[in-house]
Chain A
Amino acid sequence: MKNFLALLVFIGGFGAWYLYKQKEDTSNGLHETQMQIENYEKTVALRRKEHEAITKALALQKQVTDQRQNLAALNARQAALETTRAGLARQRQQAIGTLRQTFIGTTLPTLTLTTGRTLEQVRILKLDDAGISLALTSGILKVLPHELPPELRQRLHY
């Protein structure tokens, strides 16, 4: 009977020790794992932050590159348009020159200048950007563009 009791006590003690050990191991493992999780969470948070910062910086850099390309393209189009404008301005100047040439030799019965002077029977001798040369009975007169009457100035493209 005593042996039986001793066996029971031994089995009970061993069982309690085994359970305690198992529980302790699990508890330690859990604690250790939680510490590792904390460390990993910190590491992952840092990495995420760095990843976000670099991604944002690179995205902005890409936007800068894209905008530079857009600006370069726009500037190239602007340069081409400027060339077209210069060409058209030359053509316009030539056309005005040609048009003005058709007025040479024309006789105007009266011409009232913006200065108030009235000229009669004037013949156009020469036209250029600086003004208009007129032949009068008394001689030759050089008239500046702003002295011409508005209607004639418009016709002559001054």
Chain B
Amino acid sequence: MKNPGHIRQRCFTLVLLPIICLTLTGCRETLEMQAQLNESVAHMEKLKSEAAALDAALIDLRRKLPAASAPEVAAQKMTTQATADLKILEAQLTQSAALYQQTEAAVAALQKDLATLQVKPNP
């Protein structure tokens, strides 16, 4: 004949103690995972809003591109073309600036010459 107190003690040891241990361990892991999930969701929301902001900005930007091809291709073409144009324009600007300086020097020389001629005494 077993003692009921002894049986309760065994039940507690065999069933309740493992359940409590499992519960505590499982809860801890689940809580950690939940925290990770919350962080991930927050990160995802941030990415979502960034993607939405970029999409909104891209709608405006794409309007400024020629509509003939895909935006990336059009942007690439525009970059290549603009880079080439810039080089040509810079060369033209340098050339024009040099020509302008020459003309300025010529005008200054003419003005000086003219001033000399106008004050020249008779022979």
B54 to chain A, nearest CB (A): 4
Inter-subunit contact B33/A23 (CB<8 Å): yes
A28 to chain B, nearest CB (A): 10
Interfacial chain A residues near B15, Cβ < 8 Å: 5, 8-9, 12
Interchain residue pairs with CB less than 8 A apart (20): A1-B7, A15-B19, A29-B37, A30-B37, A40-B47, A40-B48, A53-B76, A54-B75, A57-B75, A57-B79, A57-B82, A60-B83, A63-B86, A68-B89, A78-B103, A81-B103, A82-B103, A88-B114, A99-B120, A106-B123
Q: Which of A15, A41, A54, A84 contacts B107 (CB 8 A)?
A: A84
**A-side interface mostly:** helix
Interfacial chain B residues near A77, Cβ < 8 Å: 100
B122 lies within 8 A of chain A by Cβ: yes
**Complex Cα spacing A36 to B58, Å:** 22
Given A30-B36, A60-B82, decide whether A96 and B117 contact each other with a Cβ distance below 8 A.
yes
Interfacial chain B residues near A103, Cβ < 8 Å: 123
- A-B contacts, CB under 8 A, total: 165
Inter-subunit contact A53/B79 (CB<8 Å): yes
Inter-subunit contact B71/A50 (CB<8 Å): yes
CB-nearest residue of chain A to B55: A47
**Complex Cα spacing A58 to B65, Å:** 8
Interfacial chain B residues near A63, Cβ < 8 Å: 82, 86
Given A53-B72, A88-B110, decide whether A102 and B100 contact each other with a Cβ distance below 8 A.
no
Q: Which of A26, A41, A51, A75 contacts B58 (CB 8 A)?
A: A51
Interfacial chain A residues near B62, Cβ < 8 Å: 54
Inter-subunit contact A92/B117 (CB<8 Å): yes
Interfacial chain B residues near A8, Cβ < 8 Å: 11, 15-16
Digitize B54-74: 1 where CB-to-A-CB distance is under 8 Å, 0 elsewhere. Answer: 110110011011000001101
Inter-subunit contact A44/B120 (CB<8 Å): no
Interfacial chain A residues near B123, Cβ < 8 Å: 102-103, 106, 155
**Complex Cα spacing A19 to B111, Å:** 99
Interfacial chain A residues near B43, Cβ < 8 Å: 37
Counting chain A residues whose Cβ lies within 8 A of the other chain, the interface size class is 35 or more
A85 lies within 8 A of chain B by Cβ: yes
Interfacial chain B residues near A15, Cβ < 8 Å: 19, 22-23
Inter-subunit contact A19/B71 (CB<8 Å): no
Interfacial chain A residues near B27, Cβ < 8 Å: 19
Interfacial chain A residues near B58, Cβ < 8 Å: 47, 50-51, 54
